[in-house]
Amino acid sequence: MHEWALAESVIKTSAEHAAREKLRCVSEVGVALGELQSIDREIFAFALAELVKSSFKDLAACKFSLLDDPAAFKCRACSAEFTLKALKRTGEEAENIHFIPEMAHTFLKCPECASPDFDITAGRGVTIKHIRGEQ
Ligand SMILES: [Zn+2]
């Protein structure tokens, strides 16, 4: 269950940030979930709540906002930027990409020049976008 490991690192990072910034309480943490990361939001939200309850009581008043981080790509051949949604694809391909982001290169091509050589510029992993609190 990688949701639990991810939730724990989000909480640890938030707690460390709060300590560094001398925040009395953290009110909100915005967490962007990558489209390619394949995270079960319900499990992730549950894991956050449970971990705070059991081991990070300082963050009890904190609200975790789960945000979308849509996948984006940039072609290395022609510099075109494109998104997953913009590409025509079958359901099966989309499934594979969600399970293994590295597979994107096998299934996707640049819509401009058809090159399979592109960078994934967004939509991987879990990112803390903001941490709000009171000093
Ligand atoms: Zn291209």
Residues around ligand 1, an ion, CB closer than 5 A: 75, 77-78, 80, 110, 112-113, 115
Give me the pLDDT at residue 98, please.
Answer: 64
* pLDDT tens string 26-38: 999 999 999 888 8
Strands (E), the chain: 25-34, 63-69, 72-75, 81-83, 118-122, 126-134
3-class secondary-structure state, position 70 = coil
Q: Average pLDDT of the chain?
A: 87
Q: Give the tokens for residue 66.
A: 């789960």
Report the relative pairing of strands 126-134 and 25-34 from DSSP bridges: antiparallel
Mean pLDDT score, 73-101:
75
Give me the pLDDT at residue 91, please.
Answer: 58
Answer yes or no: are the C-beta atoms of 3 and 40 closer than 8 Å.
yes
Q: How far away, in angstroms, is 82 Cα from ligand 1 center?
A: 9
Mean pLDDT score, 88-99:
60
Q: How far away, in angstroms, is 90 Cα from ligand 1 center?
A: 21
* pLDDT tens string 2-48: 899 999 999 999 999 999 999 888 999 999 999 888 889 999 999 99
The percent of residues in the chain predicted with pLDDT above 70, rounded, is 87
* CA pair distance 123, 37, nearest whole angstrom: 7
Write down the CATH number for the domain with range 2-69+124-134.
Answer: 3.30.2320.50
Domain ranges of the chain: 2-69+124-134, 72-122
Give me the pLDDT at residue 84, please.
Answer: 81
For residue 39, which of 83, 84, 69 has the smallest C-alpha distance? 69
pLDDT band of 58, cuts 50, 70, 90: confident
